[in-house]
Amino acid sequence: MAEHHERSYTAITEMPGSLVTEEQRARLRHRYALARSHAAGRRVLEVACGAGLGLAAVRETAAWLVGGDYTTDALDAAQAHYRGAVPLVRLDAQRLPFADGSFDLVLCFEAIYYFPRPIEFLAECHRVLAADGLLLIGSENKAWPHFVPGPLSVAYYATAELAALLAQAGFVAVEALGAFPVEHLSPRQRARAWLRRGVMATGLFRRWPWARERLKPLVYRDLQPLSYDLAQQPWGPLPVHPLDPQADNREFKVIYALARRGPRC
């Protein structure tokens, strides 16, 4: 992400010790449960792995695993935790430093909306995947009613938009999945949603991303710190819902796209 050299993404990255809600923790476990189910026996690359909170979970099933991220502080935390057990690389998601056909599965969770040129990222994924390799992307669904864009984001995508980008990059057999159904909000929850949208509209977090963590306790209750214990907990059934990849939906907060690499041009 050459245009963003001056930016630090540490303030918006899920780091060890970050205070999160129970739903944020559940989303983190959900995405890596899905990743584990597709990683079995495969050579796996996670782009935008951050501090590597999910790498240990994926490593349990993958044949080989590499993590990569743009943010040095996040990679330093991952290096300190894994101590060489997982190869970690600082990279630009739009110029992946790997040979053609190096991986069988590429993962990218909650990051594509930070990329200035997402089609270049997808084209790079297509290049580094082996024949019939898979790409799994997870993202906030911009179509759900109480969606609030995050600081430093460039563009979010609804289901059909994401499917169209994947097809443009040469991917085929695109599947869409929904997770975390939109629930009926209580008056207090609606007030919090209104407060989040109002704060985001001020541009405060774009100017000072670190302020998000400072103000989070004012908006949410029962925050708990993240840790690397993700892989040490039992993995239960995975609630995912097949969606029409050509139609946007408002029923789920999180959308996944799973696509197979098509023929090289």
**pLDDT tier at 15, thresholds 50, 70, 90:** very high
In this prediction, residue 19 carries a pLDDT of 87
Domains of the chain, CATH where assigned: 2-261 (3.40.50.150)
Q: Which residues pair with 138 in a beta bridge?
A: 109, 256
Q: Which residue has the tokens 């999945």?
A: 177
Q: What is the pLDDT of residues 34-86, one digit of tens each?
A: 999 999 999 999 999 999 999 999 999 999 999 999 999 999 999 999 999 99
What's this model's pTM, rounded to 2 decimal places? 0.87
**pLDDT tier at 12, thresholds 50, 70, 90:** confident
Q: What is the pLDDT of residues 164-208, one digit of tens each?
A: 999 999 999 999 999 999 986 556 656 666 666 665 556 555 555
Q: What is the pLDDT of residues 211-247, one digit of tens each?
A: 555 555 555 667 889 999 876 777 776 889 999 999 9
In this prediction, residue 222 carries a pLDDT of 77
Residues 6+ apart with CB under 8 A from 218: none
In this prediction, residue 5 carries a pLDDT of 44
Inform me whether the pLDDT recorded for 134 exceeds 50.
yes
Which ranges of the chain would DSSP assign to H, the alpha helix?
22-39, 55-59, 72-82, 118-128, 159-168, 187-201, 204-207, 211-219
Strands 241-243 and 171-181: antiparallel
Amino acid symbol at 52: G
Whether the CA torsion 67, 68, 74, 80 is positive or negative: it is: positive
Q: Which residues pair with 49 in a beta bridge?
A: none
The helix (H) or strand (E) run that includes residue 19 is strand 19-20
Within 10 angstroms of residue 256's Cβ, the number of other Cβ atoms is 24
In this prediction, residue 145 carries a pLDDT of 87
**DSSP state at residue 1:** -
